Structures are given as C-alpha cells and as structure tokens.
Structure 1
Amino acid sequence: MIERTVARIVAAALRLPWLTVLLTIALTAGAVQYISTHFAITTDTSQLISSDLDWRQREQQFDAAFPQHSDTIEVVIDGATPEVAEAAARKLHIALSAKVPEPIEAVRRREGGAFFEKNGLLYLSLDEVKQTTENLIKAQPVLGTMAADPTLNGLAKALSFVPQGVEAERATWADYDKPLTVLSGAIDDVLAGRPSSFSWDELLTNTKPAPADLRRFIEVKPVLDFGDLQPGAEASDLIRETARQLDLTPEHGVRVRLTGSVPMADEEFGTVAEGLALNTALTIAAVLVILWLALKSGRIIVAVIVSLFVGLALTAAVGLAMVGALNLISVAFAVLFVGIGVDFGIQFSVRYRHERHSLEALREALVAAGRNAGKPLALAAAATMAGFYAFLPTAYRGVSELGLIAGTGMVIAFLTSITLLPALLVLLNPPGEPDDVGYRMLAPVDRFMARHRIAILAITAIAVASGLPLLQRLTFDFNPINLRSDKVESVATFNDLMKDPATAPNTIDILTPSLADAKVLAEKIEHLPEVSRVVTLQSFVPDQQPEKLVVIQDAAGLLGPSLDEPAAQPPPTDEAMKATLKDAATGFADAAKKAGASPIAARMADVLGRLANATPEQRTAVDRALMDGFKLRLSQIRTALGAEAVTLQSLPEDIVSDWTAKDGRARIQVAPTGDGNDNANLRRFATAVLAVAPEATGVPILIQESAKTVVTAFIQAGALALVSITLILYVALRRVSDVLMTLVPLLLAGVVTLELCVLLGLPLNFANIIALPVLLGVGVAFKIYYVLAWRDGETSLLASSLTRAVLFSAMTTAVAFGSLFFSSHPGTSSMGELLALSLCTTLAAAVLFQPILMGPPRDAKKPNPVDGDPASSTV
C-alpha cells in the first residue's frame, strides 16, 4: 500500500517535473518571505520551562512582588584599596543614574549609600565597634593634623610627630613599623612611576583590608528587548563605556566587571555564535565531500542539496507559524533537520542509483526507487516524527517546541524527497550507472557473521551486560552554570562571587503575608543545620544599639573637634610643602641615629628626602595618590561618628522596598551552610527549607526543580516515543518479532551510549540530553531500513546498496551533529559530543549487530536476474 502510494506520487512528479519544481519554488519563496518578516528568537531562558508548574508560579509571584531583583545586571567593582573601590563605585553610580530611564530603568547600590555610611558601625559586633573606635582614637594626632590640612603638606606634618612620639615614649617603633612600611612603599611606587595601592584603612587600623573591603556592587535594572538576540547588550555596553570614560580601568587600580542574569544570557548567545560562520562553512564543505563519495554525481548532489534547502526553508516557516518565536533550544531544529533530513535524500538517491544500474530508463529507475524505498522512508519519517512529537506533552517547553518543529520537519523532508527530488533528477538527467553501488567486498564479512552468528551475539551480550554496572556511576550535571563558558566575563565573575558565601547567589527567598509572619518563620528556619543565616527586614535593625551608640558617641566627643572641616583656606605652596617634607625627613634621620631605632626610621628619612627633592609634578602625583583616599576616608569617619538609633520606621525606602512588597508581604532570605557550589549540599539545603516553607523559591530550588522537570520530561518523552514507535512499527510490520528486531538494537545502542558516557567522563546535562530522543529518531530509521530489506529476503546486507546509503547518511549526520562539538559554548559542545557518540553506537547496532540478530531471511530472495549478485537485490 505505502509502496504503491509513494510510487504514484513519484510518477506524478515525474510527469510534470517543471510544474513540481515551479510550485516548490513558489512555496519556498513564500516561506523565505514569511521568515524574513516573522523571524523572531527569544533569549529569555525563563520561558524554556512551562510557567504552569507550581515552583515556576512561586518564582513568578516573587518576581512580581520584587521586580527590582529580576533581569538585572550586577556591576562588580574591585579596587586596589577600599578607598579606590568606594570612590569608583560612587562615580559610576552617579554617572549611570544620569542615564535613567533609557536604556537603564534603575540604578542602586547593593551596599553602601548614605544610610550605611552613617550607621555602618552599628552593624558590627560590640567588640568590633570598640576596637574600631579605639584605633581611631589612637590615630587622633595624625587624623587631627591632616584634617586641618588634607594635603601632602598635612601628611608631612603628621609624620613629623612619629619620631617625637617615640622619643617621648608615648609609642614604640613597633607600633609604626607596618603602617610606615606601607606608606613608604606607596611613595616609592609613585616616584618610580609604578601603580600605587595605598589604603588609609590599613594605615589607621594596622590591619590588611579583607577581600570584601576591596569590592563594591551596583545593581542595574536595564530596559530589555527580548526581540533582540542580546536583549541587554545596549545597557551593558553603556556601563562599560561609562567606566572607561571615568578611567575606572585596571591601569588606574579599578576593575569593573558585569555579571547577573542579563549579561550571562547575552554572552551565552555570543558564545554560541562565536565561530559559527567558520563551523558552518566547514560543515557544508564536509557534507558536500561525503555526498560526492556517496552519490558520485554532481547532478544528484545538486538535487539533494536543493531539496534539503527547500525542506529547511519550509520547516522554518511552518515552525515560526506554530511557535511564534524560536527559543535557545528550538533554534537547533536547523541542525537536526540537516542531520536527519539529508538521510532521506541519500536513501532515495542511492536507491535510485541501484535501480538505474538495473534499469537504463531514468524515469523507470526513479519510479522503482520510489516504490522500493517508499515504505522504509515513510516508516522512518513516521517513527522519527513520533520520537520528536513525544516531547509535546512535557513541561520542558524549550524541547517541546523543538520537538514540534523538528517532527514536522521530518514530514516535510519525506515529502520533498519523493516529489521535488525526483523531479529535479529527471530534469538534471544524471548519467546511467555502469556499476552497482553496493559493497561487494563486504560479502565475505556477511558470510563470516552468518557462520558465527551465535558466538557474536553471545560476545555482544556479555560485553554489554558487563558494562551495566557502569550505569550506576552515570552522572547528571544539574548545575546550569557548567553549560556556560567560564572564559566570558559574566560567568567568570559569577564563579568568583560563588567563592565567597557573603556574595554567592545561592540563597532561597520566601514570601510571607506580613513582617510578623516573616519574623516567626525566620526563627524556625534559622535553627536548621543546613542554614547559615536568615535575613528579613528586621535584620536591618542592629542589636545592642544603646551600648554601641555610647561607644560611638564617646569617640565622637574625643575626635569630633579635631576632625571638623577647617575653614576654607588657600592650599599650601609647593615651596612650603618641600620645607615641611624636609623637616619631617630630618626628624626621622635624627631618630634613626639613636640606639634602638627601627630601620623604618632611616627608610622614611630617605623616602621623604627624595620626595622633597622631586619635581613638583611628582609631588602632585603623590598628593593625588595618597590624599584623595584620605579625604574620602575622613569623610566616612566623620559621617560614621554621627550614627543614630535605627528602627524599622527609620530605615530608608530602598531597603524597605527590598524586603516588603507594596501589599505588605515580607521577604525572607536564607543562605546555606557548606559549599554553595556542591549540588548535593544545595539539594539538602533546598529540601530542608522547603519542608518548613513550601512557598520558598530561589536559585537552589530553581536548579533542583528544573532538573527534576527536565529529567521527568525526558523520561516521559522517552516512554511515549518508545510506545508510539512500537505501535507504528507493529501497524506496518504486523509481526511482534519484527518489531523487536527493530527496537532491540535501538535499546542496545542507548545502553552502550550511556556506558561510554561513564567511560569517557561525559556527564549528562540539560543540553546534551537531547541526544537521547535524537538517537531514537535516527536509530529507528536505520533499523527500519534493515528490517524491511531483511523481510524482502536480502541475504547479504553489508554488501548491499542499503549499507552504502546508511553509512554515508550516518557520516553526513555525524558531520552536522559533530560540528556542534567544536562550538565555544560548553553546553552546545557537549550536545555535539553526545550526539556524535550516540550516532556511532546506533550505526554500529544497525550495520553490525542487527543483521546478526535477524539471521537468515525467512524467504531468501533469488539472485537478481540482471547481474546475479545478491548484493544488488531489492532493499
């Protein structure tokens, strides 16, 4: 039935070849026009999984309550010193705020700002407050002198008190050794023209700045255009350009980096596109070479390529009409279409070459090719389509849409192969085939395999069974970050932040009805062993405020008068500055001659003397390098000593809006203990929090739930594909044994593929798992070809023209899929690797294992009357 139908369709196309071609051209032109006007691709990764799922709805509810936290750009500013980092953050924040509302919607400091600058000491422990204020009081002579004259001249005056203090026994050289070493090194660097990193924090507190002290954050809410392939590129480019204009560069001791959901998505697309043109050109060249080896005719190759292009254009147009916009997964339909669709063209063309060897007439050979290849091609298309359509009911929307487009593309590829392809062949009129296209040299291999069939089956079974324990070590990488290139700035910065628990974005958020509910729930959660800290709006009201305020106010009383801003006065002249520096150098030189003096005294005398004798420009450079940071630090000290009691009512609006929604709902943020990069640790953390707060959301929960959704989707799709393919095969083959002959090698290839994944250290992930349904689609096509040839009585499968078609079809598919392996994008590369691996196993199962499994045909055909060679018998 199928054979006759396909033969009639081919014959109709051959009777009116020009009409067939012209109609196809018209359809293709319409498809291209539709693509050009309707092409759209969304890079919004949040749309890859159905929004109807409970955990997605919780995520959306939280994003709706606190929209300022979604789709953001995190600007990470690292400075050589805390002062440099803070000054850079202030400059950039002011500059970016001026760009609102286009292309930036909002800009805010994630830490810092006027409120924390004033009340920051209250958020330290009582002991830390005491220690900080004691250090400031000890530095009062230096601070007071320099506050009155915040220039290099004032610094020189303050330094002159050091040897006086040691001589009066109010301090020892050991007290000054470390800060003076740092200061002298900074002056040396500037005089030598080297970058200087000098911190007044280190000088005043005698402690090295912690890594967190050298980092500041700005959160930018960009205006996104999801119709653009890189929706946040305009905002990201603006931030980088603004930083360059402000000299916030490594040459000036500042590094500005971007991370967050927006730049990570943008740069991910950029990574995917990197080298795409070269890879595509090389892939096309390789496919053309393989087609030449398979078809040996430029005219046939042209017909196959044209049919493939037409099918691709029609599939793209139909796909866009069905889904509206492609996503980052469904866009892979093109690779799948080329990889699988070309199989139909090769199968038909190789079959035509075989028939042309027996039948001299071109049209008769094409009709015979349609009649004899029609059933296997139709079954292969139906089974492949069923494999892709199996994803339609799943919640993994990205692959569901890919399945819809790719499955429909299989139907289109089949139809073009039995209409346009034969019409083009009759018009191009390729020469006859003097030789058959099978592999006669493989006939001895066929006979060897037939003689040792049982032994080979047993060895295969033992080998595959021996590898089954490996499946226990099969891993699934649930971390989506590992699918991104760590060479791009956003991912490298994200991984850098993950190293610090204070900045790692692996927290859980909970939305509660009110602040009172948040307080009660937070108290329950903070006792969980999997939780390191819990933050609510209440957390911004410091504890022990009365005691801390007393300590701060005492320090303010002692330091306040000496830190007050002096009345405006002209800056000291360069000559006055030189004189002050020489006096300070003399003081250190005299001290260095006395018994018990530290070597730092002589070093300071030398450094200050050289600075006094330097050029005015060098002194100006030293003044700028040292005193700009001091002025900022002095301003911060003055502000911090004015701390006031903090209450919920006195918290600034930006903090309140971060932790309470407009309708009164309150947010709880929960951080994990242990390694935030460890999937098992995050899974325990998420499970523990969800047990107490089922309404929770956040990165750890989203990762775990999305992993479950994706794995469940593939299990559902795999089961549905297997059932639907089995039904299709049974309807077509009418024998359970023949259905098993088709499916057993397919399942064997799947098992071997997974075993090889363990041996090669290739974990499954959200991207490469797509290889499994593709294995079903491609694999079942190859198996159907062999089963139908075997049912027709083929006695020498390896030597037949079918094996030639399958091998070269597999080679072109492998090139198309394997080209993904060379992508700069790790996820795409892993997809290509597993696709190529699965293709190799399914090809081996079809070509080597399936003929042995099937054994001798039930009714072996007689030798072909044309050439007497079983290798040329009907497929």
Structure 2
Amino acid sequence: MRALFSKPWVLALFLLLLVVAGFMRLRLETDILGTLPEDLPEVKALRLLRDGFSGGSDLLIAMQAEDDALAEDAMTTLAERLEKRTDLVKEVRWAQPMEQQAQSGAALMAWALQNTDPAQLKAVRERLTGDGAKAKLQQSLQTVAGSLDAEKVQRASYDPLGLLDSLDASAMSALEGSMFGLVSEDGLFRLLLVTPAQSVSNYKSAAAWLDQMKAEIAQWRQDQDPENKLILRYTGEPAFQSEIGAGIEKDMSNTVGLTEVLIAVLFWVMFRRLKPLLWIQGLLMLSMILTLGAGGLLVGKLSIMSLGFAAIVLGIIVDYAVLIIQESRQHPHLDSKGLRKLAAPGIVAGACTTSTVFLSLLFSGLPGLSELGLLVAVGVLVGLGVMLTFAPKFAAGKQPPNTVVEPSGQPAKHGLAIVATLLLFGGMAGIFAVKGLPKFQTSAETLRPSNSEAMDTLQWVQDRLGQLNEASLPVLITGPTEELRARTQKLADKLAAAVKDGTLVRQAMPTLLIGDPAAQQDNREFIQWLLAERPRLEKEIDAAGFADAAAALLRSVCSVWEPALKGPWPQDETTAAAGSVLSRLLATGERAVKGGMQPGQAVALASVSVTGKPGLPDRDKLAAVQALLTPDTGAWVAGWETLGRALSTLVQHDLNQQLLPIMGIIAFTLLVTFRSVKDLLLSILLLGGGLGALAATMSLLEQGWNLASLAAIPLLLGTGIDYGIHLLLALKRSGNDIRHVQATTGKAVFFSGMTTVIGFASLFFAGNRGISSLGLACCVGTLWILLIVLWLVPHWRAWLRAK
C-alpha cells in the first residue's frame, strides 16, 4: 500500500477524488441562524419562532396605494388570484372583507368558548333560560340605541345574546390581533402573507419560487395596475433566502476575483516579471481548489460569515511564493531542494503560528466565526504544502543575475526610529486618555446584510403597521401541553401589572386560544344545550327587532360545533378555519418538535410593547421585560433586539478565554523559532503596538468593536506574527544589517502585508455588515503592524543587540 501511494499519479488521483467528494458535499448556508450558537436561549427562541409556527416560511408582500379603496380592491384581487395557483401557493392570508373575517372569526370564537371557564358558560345558560333571553335582548337593544361607546354598540349588534360575555375581555385583544393587523390605520398600506405550496428549504428553490411568484404578480399588475400606481415590495423567509444566497455567490466571486487581480497588479509593480506572476496565479488557484474540497469534507458549508475565508487565504499564502522568489534572487546558485531548505523554516513557522491562531476560533461561541477560522487554517496549511512543493521548482535558478542585493555594511541611524516610537506609544496613550478605549456595541445589527431589500422592506412593514412610539416584541411561552393555558394566564396577570406600572405599553396573550381538555369536557353539556335551543333563540332575536345579521354569530358557532360533537370529544382542532390562525399562535405536536421542543411540550406566541420605535425598543425597558420573564414562567423574548446583548456577552467571554492560550501558543512557537528571549519580546511588542494603534485609531474615529470585528484581534495576532518571524530571522542571519534586510526580505514582507491588506479590504464589499467591519478592522490593524515591523522593529532589534 505504501509503495502504491509513493507513486505521484496515485497520490494525485487520491487527492482528486477527495476534492471531488468535498465539492459534492459543499453547500451555501443562507440561514443566518445557522451561524449562531444553537444552545443560546435567544437563538433557540428565534429558531422556534420561525420553524415552530405556521407562517415561518411565508412570503410577505407589502402594498401601498394612493387611497384605501384602491388598496383594498387591489389586495383582494391579488390574493384571490394567488389562491387559485395551488401549484405555487398553499395558503394566502390578508385583511379580508368583514363578512369573510366573520366566517373565520366564528370558528375562533367557537374554539375560545369551548375552552373557557365552565362556570362562565353556566352563567350564560342561566341568563338565557326562559324569559332571560328576552331581557338580555332588550338590554342589547338599549345599548345599540343609546350608548356612545362604539365598541359596545358593535358588540351588542353582532352578539345580542352575550355569548362572548363568558370570555375574558382583557384577553380579547390577542384574539382580535390574530384576525386583523394586516392593514395600516389609514388603510393605504396592506400586507399579504403567502405560504409556498412546497418547501423552499434552500436559496435556489426559494429564488425559483420567488421568480414564479413575481411573474404571476406581474401578469396581475398588467390588468389591475397598468400605470404602476401601487408600490409592491417583498420580504419574509423566501426573499431573505434568495437574497442571501445570491449575495454569497456574488461575494465569493467578487472577493476572490478582486483579490486575485489586485495581487497580480501589486506583484507586477514590484517585480515586473510575467512568468512568476503566471505560475503564482496557477498555484493560488490550485490551493483554493484543494481548500474548497477540504472545506467541503470538514465543514460542508459556506455561510454569510465564513465566505470571506478565500480572500484572507489568498492574501496569506501568496506571501510564501514571494518569499521563496526573494530567497532565490538572493541565492541564485541554489537548486530547488536547497532553496526549499533555506526558505522552509520561516515559512513553516509563520504558517503554523497563523493556522494555530485561526484554529483558536473553533472555540468561538459563534459557529460562523468557527467555520471561518477552520477554513482559513486549512487554506493556510494547504497553501503551505502547495507552495513549498512547487514554488522552489519554478523559482530556483531562474532569477535575473542582477537581483542580488549586497550587504550594506553600514550602521543604521536610530534617531528617527526612536522619535517615531515615542510618537507611536505617546500618541496612543494620549488618545486613550482623552477618548478612552473603543466601546463595545451590543447590537445584533452587525449580523444583518449590509444592503438588503428584504430587510429594508421588513423595516418598512414595521414602521407602517406598528405604533410610531412603540416597539412590539414577540414572547414565547413554553411548557407541557396540559399546563400551557394555566401558565399563560399566570404570565398574563404578571404582565398586566407591568402595564399598570409603566414597564410595558401593552401586552397581548393568546390565553383564549390555548386548549383546555378538562374545560372542553365540562363545556360539552352547554354546547349540546345551545344547539338544542338555537331555533328558539333565533326566533327571540328576530322578534326583538334585530336584523338577520345579529344571529350570525349564534348560527356560525353552532355550525362549527354540530359536526365536532359527532366525533370524539374534546377535539384539538375545531375547524380548519380556526386551525390556520391557531397554527400561527400555538405550536404543538410535530410543529413544536420541529422548532426544537421536546415531545409533549407546546409553545404559545404572545407579544408585548415597550416604548421606543418599531424594531428599536428602549434598552432599559427591554431589560426590564427580560427580568420579568423569569425561568419559572417558561417564557422569553424572541427577537433580534435581545440577541445582541446575549451574543456580546458570549463573544467577550470567548475572547477572554482565547487570548491567554493564543498568546501562550504564540510565545512557545516564537521561542522555538528564535531561541531568543529578546526576539520573543520584540514580537510581543510588535503585536501589542499594532493592536494598540488599531484601538487608538478606532477611538479617534469614534468607532467601536462589534460582534464580528472583535474577531480581528486573534486574526491580527495570527497574520501579524508571520511578518515579524520573517523579518527577525532575516535580521538574525544578516547581523542586524537593517538596510540589507529592508531591501530584500523587507520587500517580500511588504508585498506579503499588502496582499493581506488586499484580502481583508475585499471584505469591505461583502453583503454582511459584520464581515465588512471585520475586514476594515483587520485592514487597518495590518497596516499598523506592517508599518511597525518594517520601520521600527529592525531598529529596536539593532538597538537591543547594541546594548
């Protein structure tokens, strides 16, 4: 077997098969929650909110018109057209006309009544027995004729018998919110929710389905809105998946392509050699192909946070080729083996240190950053192997004869370097004294796309449908199925007190819609009685002088109960019409398990409102709400607003745990490489100066750290130490000949640093705000480290050695 693999073609074939297998396994991950820690409660809540409730995969179509009549008519015709496309659409939900709302609302009323307190229904029965019905109807007539309360008049008109008196009036808001809330107060803005007929579980299927939907809507618009008076925009899960997937592909091609081009331009400007440029580009492409194959086997996916690995890897591994070329120019007599032996120690030490630091990101609390660190580390090691294998063969003995730079033999002057050192550290101290250290931003905004039409549309929806001075927050209440109603009612009482003391603006709990099997069993007798008394009660309503519509509620709820009583009782789903709304507020059975709950557990979706603006709650009020949701309530806020603080705590904790081991690994590697405590201290001073200068720059520009850019610290440690290793080893070999080292190895290190800057700078254009900020921080930090290592470190070492 060993003899077989010793043959180059067998090894090449084996590697090819691995690469192909990796590529077949590789996929693009468009789920932003997939880049976050699964065990974090706030992430669990967001995933449960999306996957556990019906509507998590809905497309939201936002429409705005010039007048409310046009908006209502246009939305109705569009919804009815989409309902007919059963090949594309499973369900459509919008603010329907009142008569259609009454039909679906009756099923919800029936469900709420059969789960209400049996004592309340018993009181209703006693009130309607005998002449009691006539008395109640007369009371309702007086309310309709003389009350100034529009809400009471409306309720007496459609429920003159007072059937709904048995329901908790304070809990009715949740029931009403389940049927309304899809149209703005002025009627000009409306929302249409469309559930795909088939699963759109990946970005390609989501994009294909969305294109079909847009084509269907375009045909509708030709008939209904030829002058384009309507504003139509799209958001929701399919829109996000399609947008993020396309963005990842674009970012990958743009960052890699831009990095390759800029590296090629920089190489040509510095070396003016075409053949080395061509074979370097070839080796870079080979390295990236092998890295993607290995990444496919190890990780299996590229997410919005790990997509930037390619540009970083290219910026790092091209350095190894340039260092080999530089050594070959200084030692033209060496063959490929000799050249490899000469260049390998510094390159291997730098690559191992760099990859180790990037591998430390595996311990990050953010899976997206862990994937980024693993992919970069793999890419660096793969690039190391490719460059050390092939680059010496291409470079050895093929350099121009006039490229050798002779030692200068002249002592360097340290005066200017000493002044620059004092200005560097003095300037940092002054900035920190005046401005302080950069603040840490706890917002989760950095996890969102930089430019996202779907995100902008979602914000538009929140602004138009929300209250201007309020921020609505979803709350998930969990617990055993049989205990969920009691738990929700207990929390409702707690939150009602919070409304009174000003912590909350309002709260809406779906208590009425949560099933209570015991109450359903006890209420069966009342339902049977009402079905039997229905003819008499309808006659009483007609005799009292009410319009025929006044008996609609009685007829509707009875028509729901009649078939239900024929089967086993109680029933979990009274009717399909109620079930479509219940599924948006309650997650039980398989849907709860899909969202991450254990079997036998259920979840209710409630909401609270605090002062602030849509999507931007007051932080103190938000913290107060979270304090109210103690573990015994089984409830937590499920929103991006709470995610930022939780992730910030996690990331800072991870960084505190990572820095000490990283510094220990770096110190050990440097000590083994240099075998000199002074060179070790110089390397630490180099890294400290670079990171300090970056922090001072951020403070001066009033920029802060965020969830993603904080990862720049270990990344800069990994890339920055590489430059120090190469330069300090060159200084050691030359006896601190600063001018000679700056003209030879320094030139290669400058090229290496600038390619790394190019790699990080290409991340500016990434579609994710966090990746963009990470690229900016790494770019600025690398420039500072490059300045220090090329200009100051040689003088520091010469000065220390002179002493």
Q: Identify the TM-score tier after normalising by the shorter chain.
A: 0.7 to 0.9
Alpha carbons 2:709, 2:774 under 8 Å: kept: yes
Unaligned runs of 5+ in 2: 1-5, 110-143, 158-182, 515-539, 562-572, 590-601
- Whether 1:744 and 2:729 are equivalent positions in the alignment is no
- Whether 1:495 and 2:492 are equivalent positions in the alignment is no
Residue type matched to 1:720 in 2?
A: P
Secondary structure, aligned partner of 1:812: helix
Please list the CA deviations of residues 12-31 of structure 1 after superposition, one character each: whole Å capped at 9, or x if unmatched.
xxxxxx987x7886566446
Q: CA deviation at 1:462?
A: 1.0
The verdict on how the C-alpha distance between 1:295 and 1:706 changes in structure 2, with shifts beyond 3 A counting, is same
Other-structure match for 2:68: 82
Alpha carbons 1:294, 1:805 under 8 Å: kept: no
Residue type matched to 1:752 in 2?
A: A
Other-structure match for 1:329: 305
- Whether 1:801 and 2:744 are equivalent positions in the alignment is yes
- Whether 1:851 and 2:794 are equivalent positions in the alignment is yes
User: Is the deviation greater in 74-83 or in 311-320?
Assistant: 74-83
Other-structure match for 2:439: 474
Please list the CA deviations of residues 548-569 of structure 1 after superposition, one character each: whole Å capped at 9, or x if unmatched.
xxxxx999999969xx9xxxxx
Q: CA deviation at 1:461?
A: 1.9
Q: Distance in 1 between matches of 2:7 and 2:574?
A: 80
Structure 2 counterpart of 1:447, from 407, 412, 417 = 412
- Whether 1:464 and 2:401 are equivalent positions in the alignment is no
Secondary structure, aligned partner of 2:679: helix
In percent, how many aligned pairs have the same letter?
19
The verdict on how the C-alpha distance between 1:408 and 1:274 changes in structure 2, with shifts beyond 3 A counting, is closer
Structure 2 counterpart of 1:672, from 610, 629, 633 = 610
Alpha carbons 2:256, 2:311 under 8 Å: kept: no
Residue type matched to 1:47 in 2?
A: G
- Whether 1:507 and 2:474 are equivalent positions in the alignment is yes
- Whether 1:659 and 2:592 are equivalent positions in the alignment is no
Q: CA deviation at 1:501?
A: 6.8
- Whether 1:535 and 2:511 are equivalent positions in the alignment is no
The verdict on how the C-alpha distance between 1:59 and 1:799 changes in structure 2, with shifts beyond 3 A counting, is closer
Structure 2 counterpart of 1:232, from 206, 210, 214 = 206
Q: CA deviation at 1:840?
A: 0.9
Q: CA deviation at 1:117?
A: 4.8
- Whether 1:684 and 2:660 are equivalent positions in the alignment is no
Other-structure match for 1:572: none
Other-structure match for 1:430: 398
- Whether 1:771 and 2:712 are equivalent positions in the alignment is yes
- Whether 1:38 and 2:25 are equivalent positions in the alignment is yes
What TM-score, normalized to structure 2? Answer: 0.73
Q: Distance in 2 between matches of 1:439 and 1:224?
A: 69
Asked which structure has the greater CA Rg, the reply is: 1
Residue type matched to 1:436 in 2?
A: V
Residue type matched to 2:81 in 1?
A: A
Q: CA deviation at 1:129?
A: 2.0
Q: CA deviation at 1:658?
A: 2.9
Residue type matched to 1:773 in 2?
A: P
Q: Distance in 1 between matches of 2:89 and 2:457?
A: 21
Alpha carbons 2:626, 2:637 under 8 Å: kept: no
Secondary structure, aligned partner of 1:303: helix
Other-structure match for 1:95: 81
User: Is the deviation greater in 52-61 or in 87-96?
Assistant: 52-61
Secondary structure, aligned partner of 2:738: coil
Please list the CA deviations of residues 362-398 of structure 1 after superposition, one character each: whole Å capped at 9, or x if unmatched.
51xx445433332221111111011111011233111
The Cα RMSD (Å) is: 4.3
Equivalenced residues, count: 667
Q: Distance in 1 between matches of 2:624 and 2:88?
A: 38
Alpha carbons 1:297, 1:430 under 8 Å: kept: no
Q: Distance in 1 between matches of 2:462 and 2:746?
A: 52
Q: CA deviation at 1:682?
A: 6.8
Q: Distance in 2 between matches of 1:677 and 1:131?
A: 35
- Whether 1:258 and 2:258 are equivalent positions in the alignment is no
What TM-score, normalized to structure 1? Answer: 0.67
Matches within 5 A, 1:322-721: 322-356=298-332, 361-363=333-335, 366-426=336-396, 430-436=398-404, 447-448=412-413, 450-451=414-415, 454-469=418-433, 470-476=435-441, 478-480=443-445, 483-486=448-451, 488-500=452-464, 502=466, 506-512=473-479, 513-528=483-498, 529-538=502-511, 652-662=578-588, 665-675=603-613, 676-677=615-616, 680-681=619-620, 683-685=622-624, 687-691=626-630, 693=633, 695-699=635-639, 700-721=641-662
Please list the CA deviations of residues 20-55 of structure 1 after superposition, one character each: whole Å capped at 9, or x if unmatched.
7x7886566446534553332221222112323344
Alpha carbons 1:295, 1:350 under 8 Å: kept: no
Please list the CA deviations of residues 122-159 of structure 1 after superposition, one character each: whole Å capped at 9, or x if unmatched.
99x9866269979x9xxxxxxxxxxxxxxxxxxxxxxx
The verdict on how the C-alpha distance between 1:519 and 1:744 changes in structure 2, with shifts beyond 3 A counting, is same
Residue type matched to 2:427 in 1?
A: A
Other-structure match for 2:725: 784
Residue type matched to 1:522 in 2?
A: A
Q: CA deviation at 1:317?
A: 0.9
Secondary structure, aligned partner of 1:653: helix
Matches within 5 A, 1:282-297: 282-297=258-273
Residue type matched to 1:654 in 2?
A: S
Secondary structure, aligned partner of 2:404: coil
Q: Distance in 2 between matches of 1:408 and 1:75?
A: 43
Q: Distance in 2 between matches of 1:278 and 1:61?
A: 34
Secondary structure, aligned partner of 2:588: coil
Q: CA deviation at 1:335?
A: 1.1
Alpha carbons 1:672, 1:682 under 8 Å: kept: yes
